[in-house]
Homo-oligomer: A and B are copies of this chain.
């Protein structure tokens, strides 16, 4: 039976890089049925809603989703969609590729970001003219689920070292958020100890200093939601920008894949966007659905194109999205 893949291009270069990723998937011998849905700024302008109920339902009912980017409505689209796939972990690999100008070419880190709570649980109140509050939420159950995923991830050799003995680092701010990040830290370290996985820890501010100084000291990094957002974006800056990085929002029996980049309004519509992040997101989708060999083929083709060209403008080349996509398909 064919798998149903929801395809949400969204706004800006989402309309260019998602079709590129679909082209790559269609070039493989996998039996996917693609179903399109709409979300983002343009839909909100037309209908008043950034995320129409049909799109939410489509994603919820699909086997997996490929998402592009949304503009001003990004949070209104992506946060509910993460819920639609019941995602508890956001997987964000940050790897410097050969041939790409990177500040720290030795960077090869995978962030496993908690994807449901922290400040994103988002209970906010305007208590007076002067005062607003936000209730940050941390549960042992969500922390445990993330940690169990991290332990399996490492045990399966999916960390950057590919070594089942490789441990992980938990980044947090439990010296200040003693009760909430204290709970997160303790739970994650406890699960690691139960599973016999090596785990060390780092305060998130110290991590932000040490990652640029020497990224090779980190592999798999487990973080609360906002820490994962910021620290993985920092890693993106070390490997040469967001144009390259894919991500996976993994749930219990559904998942959503998206490039880490945004809509890039400066180049949108010109057909020159770098499709790498979207194509690598498609590779993660393949692996998630069990097409591990196909995922690896895509990754290898992308790496070969990154080092030999053609290249889009963000990487110093002048190739179009279509030319880069064709080159990737060629090498599959």
Contact = CB atoms under 8 A, between A and B. Distances in A.
Given A139-B131, A208-B230, A230-B230, A176 B237 contact: no
Interface residues of A, number: 54
A90 B88 CA distance: 35
Given A103-B213, A133-B135, A180 B124 contact: yes
A194 interface: no
From A133, A209, A237, name the one whose CB has the most chain B CB atoms within 10 angstroms. Answer: A209
Interface in A192-215: 204-206, 208-213
Contacts of A229: 173, 205
B126 A179 contact: yes
A134 B241 contact: no
A151 B147 CA distance: 44
B133 A119 contact: no
A69 to B, nearest CB: 13
A331 interface: no
B139 A75 contact: no
Nearest to A225: B176
A119 to B, nearest CB: 6
A119 B74 contact: no
Nearest to A123: B133
A139 B79 CA distance: 26
B234 A134 contact: no
A119 B136 contact: yes
Given A103-B213, A213-B103, A237-B211, A129 B133 contact: no
A197 B264 CA distance: 28
Interface string A141-155: 100000000000000
Contact of A205 (B120, B129, B176, B233): B233
Nearest to A214: B237
Contact of A208 (B179, B183, B237): B237
Given A103-B213, A226-B173, A179 B141 contact: no
Given A209-B236, A209-B242, A233-B205, A176 B122 contact: yes
A179 B124 contact: yes
Contact of A176 (B119, B130, B206): B119
A179 B131 CA distance: 10
B139 A136 contact: no
Given A79-B176, A126-B179, A211-B237, 20 more contacts: A103-B213, A119-B136, A119-B173, A120-B176, A130-B141, A131-B139, A131-B140, A132-B137, A132-B179, A132-B182, A132-B183, A133-B135, A133-B137, A205-B229, A208-B230, A209-B234, A210-B237, A212-B234, A212-B238, A213-B241
8 contacts: A103-B104, A122-B177, A124-B177, A125-B179, A130-B141, A132-B139, A173-B226, A208-B208
- Which 8 pairs, one residue from A and one from B, show the smallest C-beta to C-beta distance? A124-B179, A212-B237, A208-B234, A209-B237, A134-B136, A205-B233, A209-B233, A134-B180
